């Protein structure tokens, strides 16, 4: 298996696999243009024969925080360890940038515990994530994801003050 940074020619495969998992609510639909604009965030896994197996993205907020996003693999690739290989590559990328904390929102926390992530009790502890995505999420008022972090919870926010993030979460219920 080969794990590498995505190239623009990988955008179609990423778009298809990410959006194939939107019907069941696993992922949020992403326009093709958004995938292309953010292609440098993505890491992909390929089989030894070059078949696309899956992807994941690392979004950098600043030196205090980054987020693992859109991590998904084809069903047959789960038993091949593609998801774990992608996640390890994203963690290494975060470490190469000396980011203090890595966060993610998920419905399958058990997978991430193995890689040093822990649950965050209060989502407002991650205001940058809330300001970037939660306000426009179609599941804002019925979110069923748990927040997780690897490293310490950041004490700063660059996208908005913590009290505004707390108000948004209270409104979301």
In the predicted structure, residue 58 carries a pLDDT above the cut 90: yes
**What pTM, to 2 d.p., does this model score?**
0.84
Supply 173's token pair.
């219920």
User: Which numeric CATH code is attached to 2-172?
Assistant: 3.40.630.30
pLDDT digits (tens, 9 = 90+) for 156-173: 676 655 554 444 444 444
Q: What is the mean pLDDT of residues 127-145?
A: 65
pLDDT digits (tens, 9 = 90+) for 60-92: 988 889 999 999 999 888 888 999 999 999 999
Residue 57 CA to residue 43 CA, distance in Å, equals 6
Nearest by Cα to 5 from 35, 36, 44: 44
Q: Phi-psi bin for 163: left (phi > 0), alpha (psi -120 to 50), beta?
A: alpha
Residue 22 CA to residue 118 CA, distance in Å, equals 25
Distances (CA, A) of 119 to 70, 88, 102, 104, 125: 18, 19, 12, 10, 11
Q: What is the mean pLDDT of residues 139-144?
A: 65
pLDDT above 90: percentage of residues in the chain: 57
């Amino acid at each position: 298996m080969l794990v590498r940074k995505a190239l623009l020619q990988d955008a179609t495969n990423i778009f298809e696999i990410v959006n194939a998992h939107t019907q069941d609510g696993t992922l949020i639909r992403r326009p093709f243009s958004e995938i292309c604009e953010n292609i440098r965030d993505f890491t992909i896994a390929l089989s030894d024969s070059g078949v696309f197996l899956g992807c994941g993205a690392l979004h950098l907020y600043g030196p205090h925080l980054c987020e693992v996003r859109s991590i998904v693999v084809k069903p047959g690739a789960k038993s091949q360890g593609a998801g774990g290989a992608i996640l390890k590559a994203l963690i290494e990328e975060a470490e190469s940038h000396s980011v203090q904390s890595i966060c993610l929102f998920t419905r399958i926390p058990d997978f991430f515990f193995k890689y040093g992530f822990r649950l965050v009790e209060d989502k407002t502890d991650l205001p940058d994530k809330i300001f970037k995505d939660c306000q426009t999420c179609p599941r804002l008022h019925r979110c069923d994801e748990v927040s997780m972090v690897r490293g310490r919870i950041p004490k700063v926010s660059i996208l908005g003050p913590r009290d505004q993030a707390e108000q948004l979460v209270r409104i979301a219920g």
